[in-house]
Each structure stands twice: as structure tokens, then as C-alpha cells.
């Protein structure tokens, strides 16, 4: 049903990598700007102790994973863009002292995930997922009892992203719609943190 849309999204991010756009290599001033969506407050909400298996939905080229790897025992990242996944593997291979890493290329929630996780998180990715209820159900089915989900939702709720000669369709989220999508999943709302550009939501099982 959404295959054409997924192909457009994947093509956009594949092209970004080919064009030399790699957020993993962003200079400090750009990293500071991105902290508005997933900075220290976001990382603190993950509540990682170094013993957890974590899943990141929308790992991109590894920008956020680079800050999470040394906080967990096992990391799995999934992304729709094959070029981004390949770049993430290369970027994170150079990060020393990191745990087991696994990278998947596919569209969430249709992908097959390899296991269960203590923490599942996503930043600026749910806007690319049309069926929020299916996504939250998938998350719940792979979250271990006592586990937590942390989402960063962009407050700019446009219906598409214009980038040079490309238009990328998006499906804006609101805290209310995500909470509604959790109905019947077994996920319980824990907290909500408002930032200038993002809303951070935490759920638990």
C-alpha cells in the first residue's frame, strides 16, 4: 500500500549519502543544533546502564548510535536507506570498545527483527511511518517486560519535506496520536518532555 512512498523516502536518504551528507560527521555546531531533538535529555531518558539490548528505529548513518553504543550491551539499528545502513556500519566500526552491533535495512514495522530489547528508541523517524498503530504494536511485541520506549517527535508537522529537486512525503506525529496508537499494545505512557523543536515521549511495558 505504501511501497511507492517507502521507495521515495529510501531514495532521498540514499541520495543524501551519495551527495556527501553524513550526519555522523557533522561539525560541533550542527551537532549542538541536533541536540534539540536528541541531546543529553533524550539520552538520559533511555536510562541505559551498559547491560541493555537496544534497538534504534531509523539509525541513519549512525549519528545517534555513536553516542549510545558505549551505554549498552548490544545495539541493533534499522533504516530504510541501504546507503545509510552501509555508511553506519563503516562509521561505527571505527568506534572503539563498543558492544555487539547489528544493522538491518528495511521498512518498519514490516521488517523481521532478530530478538527482544530492553530499550527501543527513535528520533525524527516516526514521521516517515504511515501506520503508527502497527509501529507501536511491533515495538511492544519486541520490548522485554520492564523495557522502555523513547521517541523524539518533530514539532514541525509538514506533510512533506522539500529538498532541492526532491519531495519526501511525511506523516506528522503528535503526542496524542502516538498515545492513541499504543492502545491495546500493553505499552504504558510514562512521561512527556517538551523542547523547542521536539516532544520527547517515554513509554514502558
Structure confidence at residue 159 (pLDDT)? 75
pLDDT of 1 > 70? The answer is no
- What is the SS3 assignment for 35? helix
Residue pointed to by grid coordinates 546502564: 49
Residue 164 burial class via C-beta count within 10 angstroms: exposed 0-12, middle 13-18, buried 19 and up: exposed
* 10 against 160, higher pLDDT: 10
3-state secondary structure of 133: helix
Return d(Cα 14, Cα 87) in angstroms, integer.
10
Confidence band of 100 (pLDDT split at 50, 70, 90):
confident
Give the CATH architecture of domain 3-204: 3-Layer(aba) Sandwich (3.40)
The per-residue pLDDT of the chain, averaged, comes to 93
Alpha-carbon distances of 24 from 5, 126, 131, 196, rounded to whole Å:
25, 20, 28, 23
**pTM score above 0.85:** yes
Measure the CA–CA gap between 124 and 23, rounded to whole angstroms.
Answer: 13
Question: What pLDDT, on a 0 to 100 scale, did the predictor assign at position 98?
Answer: 64
- Cα 19 to the center of its chain, rounded Å: 22
- All structural domains of the chain with their residue ranges: 3-204
Amino acid at each position: 500500500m505504501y511501497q511507492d512512498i517507502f521507495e521515495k523516502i529510501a531514495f532521498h536518504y540514499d541520495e543524501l549519502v551519495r551527495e556527501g551528507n553524513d550526519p555522523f560527521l557533522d561539525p560541533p555546531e550542527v551537532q549542538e543544533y541536533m541536540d534539540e531533538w536528541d541531546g543529553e535529555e533524550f539520552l538520559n531518558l533511555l536510562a541505559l546502564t551498559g547491560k541493555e539490548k537496544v534497538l534504534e528505529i531509523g539509525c541513519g548513518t549512525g549519528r545517534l548510535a555513536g553516542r549510545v553504543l558505549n551505554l549498552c550491551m548490544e545495539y541493533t539499528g534499522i533504516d530504510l536507506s541501504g546507503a545509510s545502513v552501509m555508511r553506519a556500519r563503516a562509521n561505527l566500526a571505527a568506534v572503539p570498545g563498543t558492544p555487539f552491533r547489528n544493522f538491518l535495512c528495511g521498512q518498519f514495522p514490516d521488517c523481521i527483527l532478530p530478538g527482544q530489547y530492553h530499550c527501543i528508541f527513535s528520533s525524527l523517524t516516526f514521521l516517515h511511518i504511515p501506520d503508527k498503530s502497527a509501529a507501536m504494536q511491533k515495538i511492544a511485541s519486541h520490548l522485554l517486560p520492564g523495557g522502555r520506549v523513547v521517541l523524539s517527535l518533530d514539532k514541525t508537522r509538514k506533510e512533506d519535506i522539500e529538498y532541492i529537486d526532491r519531495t519526501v512525503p511525511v506523516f506528522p506525529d503528535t503526542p496524542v496520536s502516538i498515545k492513541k496508537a499504543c492502545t491495546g499494545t500493553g505499552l504504558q505512557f510514562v512521561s512527556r518532555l517538551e523542547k523547542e523543536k521536539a516532544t520527547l515521549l517515554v513509554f514502558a511495558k
